[in-house]
Amino acid sequence: MSDQDRPDISSLIRLLGPGIAELLSGKQVELEHVELEIGELELFIPVGGVPAGYSAPAPIPGPGPAGIFHEESLRRKRPEDLISEVFHTEPEMFPSVIREVTLGATRSEGGTRGSTVTVGGSVSVPFTHPKMPPLHPPVISLDVFDTRVPMPKALKSHLDEVIDDPAAWARMNVEQYGADMVTVHLLSTDPLIQDRSPREASKTVEDVLQAVDVPLIIGGCGDPVKDAETFREIAAMAEGERLLLNSVTSDMADAKTLEPVCRAADKHGHCLLAFTGLDLNSAKELNRRIYQYFPPERLLMDLTTVALGYGLEYSFSIHERARIAGLMGDKELMHPTISACTNAWSAREAWMDLGPAFGKNDLRGPLWETIGGLTLLLAGVDLFLMMHPLAVSTLRDIAGRLIQPAKLKPGQADWANIKI
Tens digit of pLDDT for each residue in 354-405?
Answer: 888 888 888 999 999 999 999 999 999 999 999 999 999 999 999 999 988 7
Tens digit of pLDDT for each residue in 85-104?
Answer: 887 788 889 999 999 999 99
Residues contacting 36, CB < 8 A, separation 6+: none
Tens digit of pLDDT for each residue in 214-252?
Answer: 999 999 999 999 999 999 999 999 999 999 999 999 999
CATH number for the domain running over 101-403:
3.20.20.20
Tens digit of pLDDT for each residue in 123-152?
Answer: 999 998 888 889 999 999 999 999 999 999
pLDDT at 339 exceeding the cut of 60: yes
pLDDT of residue 198: 98
The Cα 7–Cα 212 span in angstroms is 106
Kindly state the helix (H) or strand (E) to which residue 283 belongs, with its residue range. helix 280-291
Tens digit of pLDDT for each residue in 175-215?
Answer: 999 999 999 999 999 999 999 999 999 999 999 999 999 99
pTM: 0.78
Beta strands in 93-234 (DSSP E): 101-103, 117-119, 139-145, 181-185, 216-219
